[in-house]
Amino acid sequence: MHTTGTAMTRRRIFAVLSASLLATGLAACGNSDTGDKGGTGSGKIVLGFSQVGAESGWRTANTNSIKEAAAAAGFELKFDDAQQKQENQIKAIRNFIQQKVDVIAFSPVVESGWDTVLKEAKDAKIPVILTDRSVDSADKTLYKTFIGSDFVKEGKLSGEWLVEKTKSATGPVNIVELQGTTGSAPANDRKKGFAAAIAANPNLKVIASQTGDFTRAGGKAVMEQFLKANPKIDVLFAHNDDMGLGALEAITAAGKVPGKDITIITIDAVKDGMQALADGKFNFIAECSPLLGPQLMDLVKKVKAGETIPTRIETQEGTFTQEQAKAALPTRKY
């Protein structure tokens, strides 16, 4: 079959026009899908979240809160567990940048060393929200806000309770301290707050202080060493419930009665910690709430919509004595 020159030209023009119309159509579709800059094309807000790990009951409750709230908000959540390693968090954040998520949120395992990766997110125009723990970056424009507890206050409340409890003590009161992860904001700040609260009382003395990495196993192992090295321990200040719970095993194995022979102060107020407090094994807990999910999703929406948000949002929390723990336990959510 022969084709005339005019017919061929018409066909070519038609083919070129169709191709360019198709290309315009695809581009339009692409724009609407990526109107939320997220790279998945789902049309949902895409949130990249880098979690510290799964080191404690607090962390599990926090992860559940984030996942449930993201699902309820209709977001696409890209969740990464850094297994308590900063290099894993940096890698996860870089992946989120590459995937062009809409917002990045993370709970930094340690305070220092974030400037470079935060600058990369800023250059890629991806807003960052810090949750639970903050960073020590001098440039506050590297992140939009920090939502979480006042860790110095938690340490201070713990120390103030001890000062009150020991106010009629005549001899020295020997304290051992189980610190959280070295270099993390809660470990640095709780130590600082506690030391400040007891500073004016020379009979209250921290005789040993070491990290238990916020885990039960760490708390148990370090408490065993403390007990071997120090014949007289009056008080244990543990930076979280889990280390306190691990220490209980070491104390009992050493033939001492927790809550009586050794006064135990912890931080968090998760269910297992509250149970130990209600059972008389712990003596005082300063609360640190892990339920940050709903507030975080609200902030993500606002940041995505270009709204201005406060640069610091402090979680509201209280303290618990043994009696208060008994009353609160039946309705405790985590």
281 binds ligand AHR (CB under 6 A): no
Q: Binding-site residue total for ligand AHR (CB under 6 A)?
A: 13
214 binds ligand AHR (CB under 6 A): yes
Nearest to 57 by CA among 220, 225, 234, 244: 244
What φ, ψ does residue 212 adopt, rounded to 5°?
-120, 10
From the list 29-37, 54-62, 244-252, 322-330, the region that binds ligand AHR by CB under 6 A is 54-62
Q: Are 68 and 125 in contact (CB under 8 A)?
A: no
* Pick 174 or 240: Cβ nearer ligand AHR: 240
Alpha helices in 230-270 (DSSP H): 241-253
DSSP annotation of 75 reads P
Q: How far is the CB of 168 from ligand AHR (least distance, A)?
A: 31
CA distances to 119, 135, 146, 205 from 140, in Å: 11, 10, 10, 37
- Binders in 219-278 for ligand AHR, by CB under 6 A: 240, 242, 267-268
Cβ contacts of 323 within 8 Å, gap of 6 or more: none
Strand partners, 232: none
Pairing of strands 312-314, 145-148: parallel
- Candidate residues 77, 288, 299, 325; the one interacting with ligand AHR per rule CB under 6 A: 288
59 binds ligand AHR (CB under 6 A): yes
Q: Are 109 and 86 in contact (CB under 8 A)?
A: yes
55 binds ligand AHR (CB under 6 A): yes
* Pick 76 or 106: Cβ nearer ligand AHR: 106
- Binders in 175-194 for ligand AHR, by CB under 6 A: 186
292 binds ligand AHR (CB under 6 A): no
Positions touching ligand AHR (CB under 6 A) are 55-56, 58-59, 132-133, 186, 214, 240, 242, 267-268, 288
